[in-house]
Amino acid sequence: MSDIQLWTLIFVVITFALYIVIAYRSRVSDTAGFYVAGGGIPASANGAAIAADWMSAASFISLAGIVAFAGNGYAGSVYLMGWTGGYVLLALLLAPYLRKFGKYTIPDFVGDRYNETARLVAVVAAIVVSFVYVAGQMAGVGVVFTRFLSVDKTTGVIIGMAIVFFYAVLGGMKGITWTQVAQYTVLIIAYLIPAVAVSAKVTGIALPQIGFGTILSELNGLQQDLGIAQYTEAFTQTSRANMVLITAALMFGTAGLPHVIVRFYTAKSVRAARFSALWALFFIAILYTTAPSVAAFSKYNIIDELGGTQGIPLSQAPDWFNTWAGVGLITQAGEAAAPISELAPDSVIRFTDVTINNDIIVLASPEIGGLPAPIVGLVAAGALAAALSTASGLLLVISSSVANDVYYKKINPQASEKQQLLVGRIAMAAAIVVAGYLGINPPGFVAQVVALAFGLACASFFPALVLGIFWKNCTAIGAMTGMIVGLGVTMAYMLWTIDIYGNSDGIFGIPETGFGTVGMIINFVVTIAVSKVTPKPSAEMQELVEEIRYPGRSRLVAAHAEGKDLH
Q: Domains in the chain, ordered, with CATH?
A: 3-297+370-453 (1.20.1730.10)
Is 38's pLDDT higher than 60? no
Task: Report CA-CA distances (Å) from 508 to 70, 104, 501.
Answer: 20, 40, 17
pLDDT attached to residue 506: 67
pLDDT attached to residue 503: 47
Is 314's pLDDT higher than 70? yes
Average pLDDT, the chain: 81
CA distance 511 to 499: 11
Question: In b/e form, how buried is each residue of 112-137, taking b as 16+ CB within 10 angstroms?
Answer: bbbbeebbbbbbbbbbbbbbbbbbbb
- Could you say which DSSP state residue 510 is in? -
Task: Mention every residue, 6+ apart, whose C-beta is less than 8 A from residue 235.
Answer: 74, 75, 243
Q: What would the mean pLDDT of 449-464 be, rounded to a whole number?
A: 85
Which alpha helices (H) appear in 327-416, and where do they start and end? 361-368, 373-400
Q: What would the mean pLDDT of 76-85 be, rounded to a whole number?
A: 81
Is 444's pLDDT higher than 50? yes
Is 256's pLDDT higher than 90? no
Helices 270-288 and 43-54, axial angle in degrees (round to 10): 50
Whether 275 contacts 283, CB under 8 Å: no
User: For residue range 198-234, what is the model confidence (pLDDT) as tens digits?
Assistant: 899 888 899 998 988 888 888 888 888 888 888 888 7
pTM summary value: 0.78
Helices 106-113 and 116-148, axial angle in degrees (round to 10): 170
pLDDT attached to residue 530: 96
Task: Mention every residue, 6+ apart, whose C-beta is less than 8 A from residue 218.
Answer: 300
Least confident of 76-90, 179-193, 462-476: 76-90
Task: Report CA-CA distances (Å) from 179 to 24, 167, 329.
Answer: 10, 8, 31
State the pLDDT confidence band at 19, using cuts at 50, 70 and 90.
confident
Q: Residue 126: what residue type?
A: A
pLDDT attached to residue 483: 93
State the pLDDT confidence band at 529, using cuts at 50, 70 and 90.
very high
pLDDT attached to residue 501: 39
Q: What would the mean pLDDT of 327-347 be, rounded to a whole number?
A: 83
Helix, strand, coil share of the chain (percent; to 5): 75, 0, 25
pLDDT attached to residue 553: 55
pLDDT attached to residue 431: 84
What's the length of the chain? 567
Pick 557 or 390 by higher pLDDT.
390
Q: What would the mean pLDDT of 455-475 be, rounded to a whole number?
A: 91
In the chain, what percentage of residues exceed pLDDT 90? Answer: 11
Whether 541 contacts 473, CB under 8 Å: no
Report residue 13: phi and psi, to 5°: -65, -45
